[in-house]
Structure 1
């Protein structure tokens, strides 16, 4: 096993509450009488991409909005909050990073979010971008997950075959993207990702460090 690929920013840090608050602030700033509850937002996370969530919600209400502009406002609010308040790495992620660095295993941060979001999340969690051998963002990939473009791009940049890497994802679209790229993937649901969403997924973990290390070492032994 030559690489560990961490998926969306929710795999690295649990920012769901912060992002929900940013959405609701953005709605207010754009004059919308919308307030998403935690339960509503949790269900919406089944759809990747904040702009798409806004579009679908507006359609369900029979309203027309500039979803892209609202999402841009939300992103600016989220990044500002992240910068001022910070956030911790999810339990076990630090151990995964340390294990990879200690054992000369390459690291990837395989996202389809903005470069700004990636920069802010790494800064907020005190993780140096240079530890990653590849980082993908919406600046270099066009298709959101569950399309496998982000993972295929990462593998190409690393010069690896799918059986030489393992992915970790916190959401079903990300998991499916990894599987479509023929990667083994560990599902590590974040706080607003219902475990039931992963009903057909066999490898779900709350101990991400042990699960990843076991998977890597079993592949090496084979």
Structure 2
């Protein structure tokens, strides 16, 4: 069955946004005079929790504070997250977070082949809007037929809800689409919805268990910046992943029927 849609995660997949998020969190904490600072090591561990508000709440739960203080801090979560979002979107709107290599190319290759695009992300609609418009132009949002974001589902990744929502809105079965992710939580969400999944890890997710992925690459690559060892290692046609090869990898040929299998045995 032909691939009719690519469903992209956002943070880490479309762009390596996590450092901008980390800095924005710290600025929000400073603004509220909390004395918290998330280092890169801290944040890498905190990324095991999906969703910004959930991440703050999880951090609060680890603090050695009284029950009353914990309750007070939990009450600050919405304001902290809103402040963090303002800092983050300002950086993105100023062009501080580019797309990862090969992303814009693959997006336009897919559209040229008549494939639809969708987003399935745990981040907010505001963050998605800021990234797409700053990197793909004023009509960046229009390139995507469906944008499903975290607050539209009850359970965030690794639950498959966001991918099921994207598929339902597209009107497609899992075998008619594929997912692009960068993290193990995203991979679990996508495969939980029945999707073949390409994973392109970043610093923040390297070392995760991606055994369930259909393919793992360090990135998508570009003609001017081909992937090391490609073609020849995992890719056959070029040193970068093109739309046609991605679809071929995600849509293996059907199993041989009895006659084909017999013929194959006679000629091997």
TM-score between both structures, scaled by the size of structure 1: 0.91
Q: Is the 1:8–1:170 contact (alpha carbons within 8 Å) kept by the matching residues of 2? A: no
Corresponding residue of 1:53: 55
Corresponding residue of 1:12: 14
Deviates more, 1:8-17 or 1:102-111: 8-17
Name which of 100, 103, 127 aligns with 1:93: 103
Corresponding residue of 1:80: 90
The CA RMSD over aligned residues, in Å, is 1.9
After superposition, residues 1-222 of structure 1 pair within 5 angstroms as 1-63=3-65, 64=70, 65=73, 66-127=76-137, 128-193=140-205, 195-202=206-213, 203-208=215-220, 210=241, 213-218=244-249, 219=251, 222=254
Structure 1 regions of 5+ residues with no counterpart?
none
Q: Is the 2:24–2:84 contact (alpha carbons within 8 Å) kept by the matching residues of 1? A: yes
Q: Is the 1:16–1:191 contact (alpha carbons within 8 Å) kept by the matching residues of 2? A: no
Q: Is the 2:120–2:166 contact (alpha carbons within 8 Å) kept by the matching residues of 1? A: yes
Give 1 or 2: higher helix fraction.
1
Ranked by relative contact order (alpha carbons within 8 Å, sequence separation 6 or more), the top structure is 1
**Relative to structure 1, is the Cα distance of residues 184 and 211 closer, same or farther in structure 2, using a 3 angstrom cutoff?**
farther
CA distance in 1 between counterparts of 2:62 and 2:185 reads: 22
**Relative to structure 1, is the Cα distance of residues 221 and 133 closer, same or farther in structure 2, using a 3 angstrom cutoff?**
farther
Q: Please list every run of at least 4 consecutive aligned residues from structure 1 whose deviation after the TM superposition is greater than 4 angstroms.
A: none
**Relative to structure 1, is the Cα distance of residues 102 and 47 closer, same or farther in structure 2, using a 3 angstrom cutoff?**
same
**1:73-124 deviation per Cα after TM superposition (whole angstroms, max 9, x unaligned):** 1111111121124321101111210210111111111112211111101012
Q: How far 1:20 moved relative to its partner? A: 0.7
Q: Is the 1:172–1:197 contact (alpha carbons within 8 Å) kept by the matching residues of 2? A: yes
Larger Rg: 2
Structure 2 regions of 5+ residues with no counterpart?
221-239, 255-268
